[in-house]
């Protein structure tokens, strides 16, 4: 695995999307399958062919279950053709019947590997589904396989010594983000339509941003986080969010309903109507730099300005520009929160919860190519516990975070949404995150604040790289961020294929109507 940053070569491009079936939302596909306008097996075959076409360049999917998926799709078709559909497969109980799904490798999926990119876990195969995987399987989804992650899900480039590195579908010299990077990548490349990710510092939203798709980190305690490695104990629920990743905003709401299920759906108000003109809109982050975080790229500053203009013109609202000076310390606050909730030692997790790994020794071994751990994991092991060595500083930051949370909750109130950058830079070149390790700050801020946030794609930059923005609301107001995401999709086009749509633009509009 090279650690040379090379942006000199021209970007290699993946093949264009040729099959119009790949340009339909999951909701549209589910409706057409149930109406027998198209067979599930045809859709599953189309996605399998697309994965085979692009994955050699991308290395996004790391394990397949293609034969099982085709068999399951055939069984669904046979059942629907017979006209005898049990209640468990009714539209109410199985709203995504026959629709393909991909899953982040950190989650348990029966018969699939579950290493989280850790060499010590090589060969481990799940014997059960994570609760969220089970929910989507019961909803009728057909699982195609699992996708790449960063080592132990704690870095924002998806690369490890089990599966290698994943490449961005818009420019394979660039990163896909992490830790749900393979998931974001295969979705952005039209090799999947819906997927499962998890997010403790931006691990859904950064990959969604870099790969031009939608990603939602739910309010805490809404979706069950268990059934993934590293273990997601209850003490992490205030920071960690398991949520949907997809190419079309229309799929966010039904996915979130299914994923939350009986565990947390009642906490949300997804059935409440949302009058966008009655919302209070706020915009921040393009005028004040977070500590330890790079300045915002000029194209992202302009994109956020365009979002404000679009909201004001289409909704007749005023987008307010509040000042929250404590937010500047978001990265420090996130690390302080992690030091108080993460009872499991990272260096023990590096050894698969066996003997503690000594990161200094691993760093020396890495210099001569003998360590099985990545540089980011070794670095995190080295700095682990630093906040615990400075308890007074940690308590000051936690007090500051508490006051910031009160400020933000007061400003947003019951009907406010905040527009905020998803990341300071467009998708960086491979290994560049080593130079900017704290650039996850814009997403981590809302993990520390325990607020729901939706990453929304805003088209492509002059270089053909995805642009995007976060939409944030108060706890359990996920329905507001999802409604704004749908509105912004109408104005900015949502997901844009890595290669121009050309003749398929009309097909997209027709298929999603």
Point out the residues that are catalytic: 104, 179, 203
Cβ atoms 185, 166 nearer than 8 A: yes
**Could you give the CA distance from residue 454 to residue 477 in angstroms, rounded to a whole number?**
11
> 237, 220, 238, 219: which is closest to 228 by C-alpha?
237
- Residue ranges in 351-456 assigned as alpha helix (H): 359-367, 375-383, 391-412, 441-448
* Helix, strand, or coil (residue 493): coil
Tokens of 369: 């190519």
Helix (H) or strand (E) holding 195: strand 194-199
Q: How far is CA 478 from the centre of its chain?
A: 16
The C-alpha angle with vertex 181 and arms to 495 and 445, in degrees rounded to 5, equals 85
The residues, ordered by sequence, that sit 6+ positions from 505 with a Cβ below 8 Å of its Cβ are none
DSSP letter string over 20-49? GGGGS-HHHHHHHHHTTSS-HHHHHHHHHH
Q: Other C-beta atoms within 10 Å of 372: how many?
A: 18
What are the strands of the beta sheet with 280-283, ordered from one edge? 61-64, 142-147, 100-104, 194-199, 241-246, 214-217, 453-460, 466-473, 416-420, 280-283, 319-320
- In order of 216, 258, 436, 459, 495, the CA distances from 246 in angstroms are 9, 14, 27, 15, 9
Residue 179 preceded by cis peptide, ω within 30: yes
d(CA 354, CA 148): 23
- Which residues partner with 420 through β-bridges? 470
Neighbours of 53 (CB within 10 A): 18
Asked if residue 6 has a cis previous peptide bond (ω within 30° of 0), the answer is no
Q: CA nearest 327: which of 439, 471, 442?
A: 442
Cα→Cα distances 147→183, 204, 370, 497, Å:
5, 13, 26, 20
Pairing of strands 159-160, 214-217: unpaired
Tokens coding 271 = 């059935």
Q: How far is CA 228 from the centre of its chain?
A: 15
Which residue in this structure is represented by tokens 């398929």? 504
**Residue 245 vs residues 63, 268, 428, 474: alpha-carbon distances, Å:** 19, 18, 21, 21
């Amino acid at each position: 695995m090279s650690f040379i940053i090379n942006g000199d070569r021209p970007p290699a491009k993946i093949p264009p999307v040729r099959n119009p079936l790949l340009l339909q939302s999951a909701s549209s596909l589910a409706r057409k399958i149930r109406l027998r306008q198209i067979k599930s097996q045809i859709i599953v075959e189309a996605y399998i062919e697309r994965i085979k076409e692009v994955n050699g360049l991308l290395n996004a999917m790391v394990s397949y279950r293609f034969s099982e998926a085709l068999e399951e799709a055939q069984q669904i078709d046979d059942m629907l053709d017979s006209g005898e559909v049990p209640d468990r497969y009714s539209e109410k109980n199985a709203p995504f019947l026959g629709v393909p799904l991909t899953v982040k490798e950190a989650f348990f999926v029966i018969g699939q590997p579950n290493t989280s990119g850790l060499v010590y876990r090589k060969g481990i195969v799940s014997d059960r589904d994570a609760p969220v995987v089970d929910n989507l399987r019961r909803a009728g989804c057909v699982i195609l396989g699992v996708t790449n992650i960063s080592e132990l899900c704690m870095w924002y480039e998806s690369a490890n010594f089990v599966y290698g590195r994943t490449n961005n579908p818009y420019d394979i010299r660039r990163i896909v983000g992490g830790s749900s990077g393979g998931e974001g990548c295969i979705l952005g490349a039209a090799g999947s339509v819906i997927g499962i990710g998890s997010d403790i510092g931006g691990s859904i939203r950064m990959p969604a941003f870099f790969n031009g798709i939608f990603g939602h980190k739910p309010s805490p305690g809404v979706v069950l986080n268990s059934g993934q490695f590293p273990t997601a104990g209850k003490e992490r629920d205030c920071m960690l969010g398991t949520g949907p990743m997809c190419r079309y905003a229309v799929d966010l709401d039904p996915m979130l309903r299914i994923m939350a299920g009986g565990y947390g759906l009642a906490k949300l108000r997804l059935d409440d109507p949302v009058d966008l003109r009655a919302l209070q809109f706020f915009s921040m982050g393009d005028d004040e730099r977070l500590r330890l975080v790079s300045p915002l790229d000029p194209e992202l500053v302009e994109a956020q300005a365009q979002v404000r203009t679009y909201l004001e013109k289409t909704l007749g609202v005023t987008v307010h520009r509040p000042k929250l000076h404590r937010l500047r310390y978001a990265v420090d606050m996130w690390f302080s929160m992690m030091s108080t909730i993460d009872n499991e030692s990272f260096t023990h997790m590096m050894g698969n919860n066996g003997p503690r790994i000594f990161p200094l020794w691993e760093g020396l071994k890495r210099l001569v190519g003998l360590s099985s751990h990545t540089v980011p994991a070794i670095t995190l092991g080295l700095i682990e516990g630093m906040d615990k060595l400075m308890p007074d500083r940690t308590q000051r930051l936690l007090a500051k975070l508490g006051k910031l949370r009160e400020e933000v909750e007061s400003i947003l109130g019951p009907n406010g949404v905040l527009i905020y950058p998803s990341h300071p830079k467009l998708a960086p070149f491979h290994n560049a995150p080593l130079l900017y390790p704290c650039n996850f700050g814009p997403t981590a801020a809302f993990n520390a604040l325990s607020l729901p946030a939706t990453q929304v794609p805003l088209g492509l930059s002059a270089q053909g790289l995805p642009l995007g923005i976060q939409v944030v609301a108060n706890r359990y107001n996920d329905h507001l961020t999802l409604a704004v995401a749908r509105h912004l999709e109408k104005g900015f086009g949502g997901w844009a294929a890595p290669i121009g749509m050309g003749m398929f633009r009309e097909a997209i509009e027709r298929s999603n109507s």
